[in-house]
Amino acid sequence: MIKKVTALLLFLSTLWTALHLLCRDKRRAGKPAIVAHRGAAGLAPENTLAAIRIGLAHHAPYIEIDVQRSADGVLVVMHDQTVDRTSNGRGPVRELPWAELRWLDAGSYFSPRFAGETIPTLADALLLLQDKPATLVIEIKDPHFYPAISQQVLALLAEYQAQERVVVISFDRTELETFHGLAPGIPIGLAVPKPWPIPPIAPAQTVGVFWPGVLLDPTFVRRMHRRGYTVWVWTVNSPALMRLLAWLGVDGLTTDHPERASRL
């Protein structure tokens, strides 16, 4: 019985390797762009200006952040729907006014070294990136809670003249369609947790996928490239995995550790 299981595992792993060897996109293999996840969430408290500065210091060409909205309509940089995990406050972002959110400590949960780091607004992030050689990747989180959030993001981009230095991404394809309808010139990316079945991607130009999907489906990257999309994978923190995914031809590595990716 053990022998049979071993033989089966050996067969499956040989098949998997052979399929990847055959199907990987050799023409695109090599040097994916680094997308510093939530700023640089492995090195500093996520989605803070400190994290963004560290992502920039490690030469990440893309800095990814998440956006939610306060009770009184301020766009803030926060991953979760509530402030509980990453600050000393409690409650849903959408129920707290900016006057409360702005004083929360969003650094101590990560390390006492970052005590006093606060929750930034999207405007703060745009201002910080204004004269930097990096593109801000703005993920619109949970748009069903935030009517007209695309219009609001767009108005802020216009105010900071940042339209040419951003990519807007979301798991919500309907919101991306809305955004694209308002600003067809701004690049957008659809995040998909798993590529089976692959949802319609257009009008996005980039598809973001949780990395195991790319390993489990040896044809995914090449198929996406053939259809004209770029492929980003999240969240890749191990150097070995970074190397493997680069070899398979992905275009972007979303990582909490941009310093590891840039060392490769």
The correct pick among 234, 236, 258, 259 for binding ligand G3P (CB under 6 A) is 234
Residue type, 99: A
Distance CA 115, CA 229 (A): 41
The answer to whether 225 is a known catalytic residue is no
The continuous run of DSSP H or E covering 124 comes out as helix 122-129
Q: Which residue among 20, 37, 180, 257 is the active-site one?
A: 37
Residue that is written with structure tokens 């996840």 in the block: 37
* Residue (20 or 251) nearer to ligand G3P, CB: 251
Question: What does residue 259 show for φ and ψ, rounded to 5 degrees?
Answer: -65, -35
Q: Is 170 in the site for ligand G3P (CB under 6 A)?
A: no
Q: Is 64 in the site for ligand G3P (CB under 6 A)?
A: yes
The correct pick among 117, 139, 142, 256 for binding ligand G3P (CB under 6 A) is 139
* Residue (20 or 87) nearer to ligand G3P, CB: 87
- Residues 6+ positions from 249 with CB-CB distance below 8 Å: 24, 25, 26, 27, 28, 29, 221, 222, 225, 231
Q: Which residue among 20, 58, 79, 180 is the active-site one?
A: 79
* Residue (142 or 217) nearer to Ca ion, CB: 142
Q: Minimal distance in Å, beta carbon 208 to Ca ion?
A: 9
* Residue (139 or 175) nearer to ligand G3P, CB: 139
* Residue (20 or 69) nearer to ligand G3P, CB: 69
Picked from Ca ion, ligand G3P, none, the partner binding residue 251 (CB below 5 to 8 A depending on kind) is none
Picked from Ca ion, ligand G3P, none, the partner binding residue 191 (CB below 5 to 8 A depending on kind) is ligand G3P
Picked from Ca ion, ligand G3P, none, the partner binding residue 218 (CB below 5 to 8 A depending on kind) is none
The correct pick among 25, 66, 175, 259 for binding ligand G3P (CB under 6 A) is 66
Encoded tokens for 19: 């399929």
Binning the chain into helix, strand and coil, the percentages to the nearest 5 are: 40, 20, 40
The correct pick among 68, 135, 230, 254 for binding ligand G3P (CB under 6 A) is 254
- How far, in Å, are 153, 177, 179, 190 from residue 52 at the CA level? 19, 28, 24, 22
In this structure, the dihedral spanned by the alpha carbons of residues 10, 13, 17 and 20, taken in order and rounded to 10 degrees, is 150
Q: What angle do CA 107, 68, 158 make, to 5 degrees?
A: 110
* Contact residues: Ca ion, CB under 5 A: 66, 139
Please report how the helices 173-182 and 149-159 are oriented relative to each other, as an axis angle in degrees rounded to 10. Answer: 40
Q: Minimal distance in Å, beta carbon 127 to ligand G3P?
A: 22
Q: Minimal distance in Å, beta carbon 54 to Ca ion?
A: 17
Distance CA 11, CA 24 (A): 20
Q: Is 167 in the site for ligand G3P (CB under 6 A)?
A: no
Binding site for ligand G3P (CB under 6 A): 37, 64, 66, 79, 139, 169, 191, 208, 234, 254
